[in-house]
């Protein structure tokens, strides 16, 4: 299996170029469902230690349905197949440039959530124009066992987010353990109460949003991912969901740019344009760096060839 690893603001992406199961043809959302239901062992073995690492997102390249797209991609972490992934799209774009498959300019990439546009500015810098993002519920109060009442918004940015602003815990690296424990409890409470998307889609990510200690930045976030790891980057789909909330509150004008920090201090530049269906079309600009190019080996005699299942 040929892979190229990159990181976007500290968040790793592993692009799988060959050696993955054949998911057939047809809509990417169907192929993503097939990956999730029939090939869990495959994607877990690529993400789990010792081959993978915590927080890593996989990007499986597939043939796009739309022939104007440079590629199709299905993103996943160790526990879930994702509708879309912002940091992964930036990592994938930089990977395609590293391979010489694309040059500076605009390109389209097909994801299960829809077609996104990327602009490659230089070898590392990419702007993703995401699918239309929207706030679905405002000020939902959950009774979170061990924590009590927590109020937040439900929004979609390619994945489903519960966004709490301001964060009940300061968004600092020293607090990552407490931030993780509380956001996991919130996601479980949301799922138990059936709080999610319009069609009952479950919350898969939770964001705590805080003022940044540095006035140069708009805010700092902590983002819990489906595998209970936190996003080292400010989370592209999460930032999209957050932009939808800011726009719905009248707190950010179309075209106005803000800089969002992650809990480790990496940044995205964010802005939006109004979408055709009352949502927003987010723009996310970030940087990725290639870390390695490798052939993954699955040795029959390796007792941990499927990864370490804890
Ligand atoms: O950047 O959208 C994102 C993302 C989702 C999960 C990890 N990163």
Indicate the domain borders of the chain: 2-130+290-295, 134-274
Q: Residue 307 C-alpha to ligand 1 middle, in angstroms?
A: 22
Atom number, ligand 1, closest to the C-alpha of residue 240: 2
Alpha helices by DSSP H, the chain: 28-38, 40-47, 86-98, 176-193, 236-248
Give the CA distances from residue 91 to residues 118, 127, 151, 238, in Å, rounded to whole numbers and listed in that order: 11, 11, 33, 16
Question: Is the CB of 7 inside a 6 Å radius of any atom of ligand 1?
Answer: no
Q: How far apart are alpha carbons 200 and 196 in whole angstroms?
A: 6
Amino acid 85: pLDDT: 97
Q: pLDDT above 70 covers what percent of the chain?
A: 100
Close Cβ partners of 36 (under 8 Å, ≥ 6 residues apart): 76, 80, 81
231-244: per-residue pLDDT in tens? 999 999 999 999 99
Is residue 285 within 8 Å of residue 125, measured between CB atoms?
yes
Question: Is the CB of 223 inside a 6 Å radius of any atom of ligand 1?
Answer: no
Q: Residue 300 C-alpha to ligand 1 middle, in angstroms?
A: 32
Q: Examine the predicted complex and report whether its ipTM is higher than 0.95.
A: yes
Close Cβ partners of 40 (under 8 Å, ≥ 6 residues apart): none
Provide the strand spans (E) within 122-277.
Answer: 125-129, 134-144, 148-156, 160-164, 205-210, 219-224, 258-262, 267-274
26 has pLDDT over 90: yes
Q: Residue 175 C-alpha to ligand 1 middle, in angstroms?
A: 20
Amino acid 44: pLDDT: 96
Q: Atom 8, ligand 1: which residue's CA is nearest?
A: 235
186 has pLDDT over 90: yes
Q: Give 3-state DSSP helix, strand, coil % of the chain, rounded to 5.
A: 20, 40, 40
Across the chain, mean pLDDT equals 97
- Region 134-274: CATH code: 3.10.310.10
Q: Which of 54, 113, 130, 159 to mutate to test the pocket of ligand 1 (most atoms within 8 A of CB)?
A: 159
Amino acid 310: pLDDT: 84
Question: Is the CB of 282 inside a 6 Å radius of any atom of ligand 1?
Answer: no
Q: How confident is the model at residue 264 (pLDDT cuts 50, 70, 90)?
A: very high
Q: How confident is the model at residue 213 (pLDDT cuts 50, 70, 90)?
A: confident
Catalytic residue annotation: 85, 235
Question: Is the CB of 85 inside a 6 Å radius of any atom of ligand 1?
Answer: yes
2-130+290-295 and 134-274 share one fold: yes
Average pLDDT of span 270-281: 97
134 has pLDDT over 90: yes
Q: How confident is the model at residue 277 (pLDDT cuts 50, 70, 90)?
A: very high
Question: Is the CB of 231 inside a 6 Å radius of any atom of ligand 1?
Answer: yes
196 has pLDDT over 90: yes
- Region 2-130+290-295: CATH code: 3.10.310.10
Question: Is the CB of 52 inside a 6 Å radius of any atom of ligand 1?
Answer: no
67-117: per-residue pLDDT in tens? 999 999 999 999 999 999 999 999 999 999 999 999 999 999 999 999 999
Q: Is the pTM of this model over 0.95?
A: yes
Amino acid 179: pLDDT: 98
């Amino acid at each position: 299996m040929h892979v190229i690893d990159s990181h976007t603001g500290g968040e790793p992406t592993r692009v799988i170029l060959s050696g993955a199961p054949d998911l057939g043809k047809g809509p990417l959302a169907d192929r993503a469902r097939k990956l999730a239901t029939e090939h869990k062992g495959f994607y877990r073995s690529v993400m789990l230690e010792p081959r993978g690492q915590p927080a890593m997102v996989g990007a499986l390249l597939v043939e796009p349905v739309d022939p104007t797209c440079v590629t199709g991609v299905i993103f996943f972490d160790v526990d879930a197949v994702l509708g879309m992934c912002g940091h992964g799209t930036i990592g994938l774009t930089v990977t395609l440039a590293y391979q010489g498959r694309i040059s500076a300019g605009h390109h389209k990439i097909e994801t299960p959530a829809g077609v996104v546009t990327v602009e490659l500015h230089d070898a590392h810098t990419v702007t993703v124009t995401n699918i239309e993002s929207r706030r679905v519920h405002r000020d939902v109060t959950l009774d979170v066992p061990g924590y009590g009442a927590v109020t937040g918004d439900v929004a979609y940015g390619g994945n489903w987010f519960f966004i709490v602003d301001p964060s009940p815990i300061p968004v600092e690296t020293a607090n990552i353990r407490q931030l993780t424990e509380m956001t996991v409890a919130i996601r479980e409470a949301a799922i138990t109460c059936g709080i999610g998307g319009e069609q009952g889609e479950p919350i898969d990510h939770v964001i705590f949003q805080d003022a940044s200690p540095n006035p140069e930045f708009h805010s700092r976030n902590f983002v819990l991912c489906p595998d209970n790891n936190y996003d080292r980057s400010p989370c592209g789909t999460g930032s999209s969901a957050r932009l939808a909330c800011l726009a719905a509150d009248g707190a950010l004008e179309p075209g106005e740019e803000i800089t969002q920090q992650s809990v480790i201090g990496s940044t995205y530049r964010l802005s939006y344009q109004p979408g055709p269906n009352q949502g927003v079309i987010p723009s996310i600009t970030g940087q990725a760096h290639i870390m390695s190019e490798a052939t993954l080996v699955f040795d029959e005699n390796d007792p941990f060839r499927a990864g370490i299942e804890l």
